[in-house]
Structure 1
Amino acid sequence: MLKKVEKKYSAKKTPKAELKKWYELMTLGRMLDERAPNYLKQAVGWSYHAPYAGHDGIQLAIGQTFVRGEDHLFPYYRDMLTAVSAGITAEEIILNGISKATDLASGGRHMSNHFAKPEWKIHNVSSCTGNHTLHAVGVARAMKRYKHKGVAFSSQGESSVSEGYCYEAINGASCEKLPVVFVFQDNGYGISVPKRDQTANERVADNFSGFLNLTIIHCDGKDVFDSMSAMEEARRIAIEKCEPVIVHADCVRIGNHSNSDKHEWYRDEEERAAAKAQDPYLAYRKELLSSKVFTEAELNAIDEEQKKVVLDAHTKAMKAPNPTPESIFDNLWPESYVSTKYPEGTHNQSGEETKFIDAINGTLKAEFRHNPNTFIWGQDMANKEKGGIFNVSKGMQQEFGIERVFNGPIAEDFILGTANGFSRFRDDIRVCVEGAEFADYFWPAMEQYIEMSHDYWRSNGAFSPNVIIRLASGGYIGGGLYHSQNLEGSLAAIPGIRIVVPSFADDAAGLLRTAFRSKGPTLYLEPKSLYNSKQAMAVVPDDFEVPFGKARVRREGTDLTVITYGNTTHMCLEAAEKLAGEGYNVEVVDLRSIIPLDEETIINSIKKTNRCLIVHEDKVFGGFGGELVGIINDKAFEHLDAPVKRVGSTFTPVGFNRILERAILPNTDRVYQGMLDLLKY
């Protein structure tokens, strides 16, 4: 629904104190905006700066509408005045620009012009422009669930609205009726790409005009009074109707896109002059004078005051410490939960064995009972008797209700991105998602996965996405492409997310419980062929916990170390038993945890056996085994009596026909032969 907003503000209607505050903020912001390139010229910092001049009206309004303690704000890289208007000081802006250790946004870890103040819920967002729309939707979902009065503000340029995740965010917010205000700051260009190459509509907001439960407001983002009226109305609608609002603000970009751009290459002199003539800051100053609310002397006095503020901020910021080289390993991920009863992740309990699938289901329910701030969503997650594509979460919605267990759309980016946002609302929230129906379908969520991987590091420990990503992984089900492949070889190269792969029911339960009780993201890969496998059954203590980074020696041996995980653990144990009948004693090490990795157990085993075979289901070429070989060569080479060998899949996709699948995936016979070759080397 398109809504016309009456302009409530003007120089005549607005109290002088308010007009003065706005002028002070606009003056301070413009001084910082114009000063920023000088730091680059002096080789001090601010190597990336996107000037906001021309967006003054809407950015002032966003910051003034933001209510500290109630709202969450997700600014984008051009939102300097938004940040200043919301209360971030000149010193804090400069600390961010010159990447000091005391920078609130990231401690110098993130690109300049990425403004944040975590304690105020002004969020550090990634340079993937616009993907924070999903995080804003996630926060808004939490606001609605917890009956919190407030809105999530998401701000971006109009060109990034072309990104798929923006459509997913707005579609999801309108479907769920969430209190989000999406602000599109439209200056007509995506760097050098004109708007006509982005969308057929003159205003990108009109692309969403058919969405239900969505209000669209157009305003002049160059006009302070029109922008203030629009933003106040947007926040009121979002709260009162609990629905999303788009504010489309027409702006103008006076200068280059950034300090690495030359707009002279694609804008002629006439266009550049026309943009400069529309300067919102000068227009506001002129309005204050022509309305006779302020005199020239009064405004000049304010200018001088703000110059002093900037100079004082500069002096303090220049004295601030720089980040240290050794700090690069700080805040890679939060400390994980530590088990006191099961410190090694092993147990000696006897009793009835449990299926792999039942162990996961039982632990999910137990953790939901343990922590009432636990949620789960995904595709096919909860519709009557359905509980995920494999029914792993069967019965959860019936017990815990639709507020905590619900479906997500078929949009993997949305599922994971809103999990990130939801977990930002409270530190004790834990979100579990089925990131995709099959691990192979997870790739559309990769931009959110990467964002999540460096959230904690990038924010210098200020924010951690407390999210468990469950994925049904691997083959041996005759699934072919998109139903049978493995991801860990690719994903292990991305720092910041723990990756675990259980092989038995007890470890499936223990690793899942630790993931729920830890802070930070965990990728939990479930070998789906083991769900109902008799081989994977085990006795599962009700309170079992498996620490991250603790491998489990499944079979003691002296002649050969076999390192494995997931489906192939069972093949390795079968092959080792067969070789035992031939007089060989093979040790089988089940990693359980890929990231972090238990290097100590691996190296100690090799010291004992002097030979090593690595077995995994994924491709040998580019698989995680290659990393293991590198670690072993670096740290245990002198203990080897033979080269480290690998057994895994062929360097092909997984075929659908069972004949093709058997030719591609490893099996017990291949594992046996790999062991025998090394034993006889």
Structure 2
Amino acid sequence: AGLYAHTDIEKEPMSAGRQMGGHFLTHSLNEDGSWKDLTRQKNSSADISPTAGQMPRLLGLAQASKLYRNVKGINTERFSVNGNEVAWGTIGNASTSEGIFFETFNAAGVMQVPMVISVWDDGYGISVPARYQTTKENISEILKGFQRDETHNGYEIFVVRGWDYPTLVETYEKAGKIARESHVPVLIHVTELTQPQGHSTSGSHERYKSEERLEWERLHDCNLKMRQWIISNGIAGEEELAGIEKHIKKQVREGKKEAWTAYLAPIKADKNTVVNTLNALAGV
């Protein structure tokens, strides 16, 4: 339902057709217009399509936690637990070339707010390699000056490979703790990611990537690496994983068929109603 802007809240409960696919959000209000208890739920502010446009909102959400912790007399009920909330935001490596990213990044360092920015870095901006849009082809390298030290506030900066699951977990635990407890902004530069299907059906990445790069992406696919990690740590075996994968593929195919059938049903019903009405008028 999210693909064709279905306005039925029961069919598309996230936004009733108001959001594009992948622009996930949660509801902050009850049906009667009153506030939900935001401290008892995970909260997601909807993404927006303009590149880097989400950055100022991320800063504002992080600033809210700082205000709730430091300004006395604010009603925190249903909104904050002593300013312990962290604003987590994501951006692609190419979008970090936008001016609004740098403005937000600098402002968060000045304000010292609990904000964690993840930069997903697959080395490309759609089909454009990083060497044409990022100095040194490395956003965390050129932001090193923001790293805090013993005498100056700033950021905590981490660099981690996107296919290294254990290190990712460790890094995000550290980042969350620093931001939540100390109200220090954090940058997590997630490198060595892949672009498994290109940007769109008309922009296949086979058109602009070398055979060597495509082979590297095949070997470093996050799902493949996760599968290898599961097996090597004895969490599950090859046979069990193969069975799970087969079951999931079956579920996806069935879900696709059910979704398409549900989409067509009201259209067919309306069509039959119109045809029957016209036939009645025509005396057929």
Task: Spell out, residue by residue over 1:179-211, the C-alpha distance to the aligned partner (whole angstroms, 9 max, x if none).
Answer: 000000000000111101112224202222212
Q: 1:195 maps to what in 2? A: 130
Q: 1:254 maps to what in 2? A: 196
Superposition pairs for residues 511-530 of structure 1, below 5 Å? Answer: none
Unaligned segments of structure 1, at least 5 residues = 1-94, 325-681
Q: Return the index of the structure with the highest Cα Rg.
A: 1
The residue type equivalent to 1:248 in the other structure is H
Partners in 2 of 1:323 and 1:175 — Cα distance? Answer: 54
Match of 1:130 among 49, 52, 63: 52
More helix, by proportion: 2
Partners in 2 of 1:323 and 1:125 — Cα distance? Answer: 30
TM-score, normalization by structure 1: 0.32
Instruction: Tell me the CA shift for residue 126 of structure 1.
Output: 1.2
Q: 1:182 maps to what in 2? A: 117
Q: Does 1:100 align with 2:6?
A: yes
Partners in 1 of 2:234 and 2:176 — Cα distance? Answer: 31
Match of 1:114 among 7, 10, 23: 23
Instruction: Tell me the CA shift for residue 97 of structure 1.
Output: 3.6
Change in 2 beyond 3 A, CA 1:183/1:277: same
Q: Does 1:284 align with 2:284?
A: no
Q: 1:218 maps to what in 2? A: 159
Instruction: Tell me the CA shift for residue 140 of structure 1.
Output: 0.8
More strand, by proportion: 1
Cα RMSD of the aligned pairs, angstroms, is 2.5
Task: Spell out, residue by residue over 1:462-510, the C-alpha distance to the aligned partner (whole angstroms, 9 max, x if none).
Answer: xxxxxxxxxxxxxxxxxxxxxxxxxxxxxxxxxxxxxxxxxxxxxxxxx
Residue correspondences, number: 230
Q: Helix, strand or coil for the counterpart of 2:91?
A: strand
Instruction: Tell me the CA shift for residue 315 of structure 1.
Output: 5.0
Task: Spell out, residue by residue over 1:620-665, the C-alpha distance to the aligned partner (whole angstroms, 9 max, x if none).
Answer: xxxxxxxxxxxxxxxxxxxxxxxxxxxxxxxxxxxxxxxxxxxxxx
Partners in 1 of 2:266 and 2:128 — Cα distance? Answer: 36
Match of 1:173 among 89, 92, 108: 108
Q: 2:183 maps to what in 1? A: 242
Partners in 2 of 1:104 and 1:206 — Cα distance? Answer: 42
Q: Helix, strand or coil for the counterpart of 1:118?
A: coil
Among the aligned pairs, what percent are the same residue? 31
Task: Spell out, residue by residue over 1:285-326, the C-alpha distance to the aligned partner (whole angstroms, 9 max, x if none).
Answer: 1222233331223223322443354345435544259999xx
Instruction: Tell me the CA shift for residue 255 of structure 1.
Output: 2.7
Contact 1:177 1:213 in 2 (8 A): yes
Change in 2 beyond 3 A, CA 1:295/1:239: same
Contact 1:105 1:114 in 2 (8 A): no
Contact 2:114 2:184 in 1 (8 A): yes
Contact 2:52 2:96 in 1 (8 A): yes
Q: 2:242 maps to what in 1? A: 300
Task: Spell out, residue by residue over 1:69-118, the C-alpha distance to the aligned partner (whole angstroms, 9 max, x if none).
Answer: xxxxxxxxxxxxxxxxxxxxxxxxxx324543333444334433333333
Contact 2:84 2:181 in 1 (8 A): no
Q: 2:214 maps to what in 1? A: 272
Q: 2:76 maps to what in 1? A: none
Partners in 2 of 1:235 and 1:282 — Cα distance? Answer: 27
Q: Which runs of 4+ in 1 moved over 4 A?
A: 320-324
Instruction: Tell me the CA shift for residue 281 of structure 1.
Output: 0.8
Partners in 1 of 2:239 and 2:204 — Cα distance? Answer: 37
Q: Helix, strand or coil for the counterpart of 1:96?
A: coil
The residue type equivalent to 1:108 in the other structure is G
Partners in 1 of 2:62 and 2:264 — Cα distance? Answer: 36
Task: Spell out, residue by residue over 1:333-362, the C-alpha distance to the aligned partner (whole angstroms, 9 max, x if none).
Answer: xxxxxxxxxxxxxxxxxxxxxxxxxxxxxx
Superposition pairs for residues 533-572 of structure 1, below 5 Å? Answer: none
Task: Spell out, residue by residue over 1:141-170, the C-alpha distance to the aligned partner (whole angstroms, 9 max, x if none).
Answer: 111111221111110111101111111111
Contact 1:96 1:114 in 2 (8 A): no
TM-score, normalization by structure 2: 0.73
Partners in 2 of 1:247 and 1:296 — Cα distance? Answer: 32
Partners in 2 of 1:313 and 1:202 — Cα distance? Answer: 41
Instruction: Tell me the CA shift for residue 274 of structure 1.
Output: 1.9
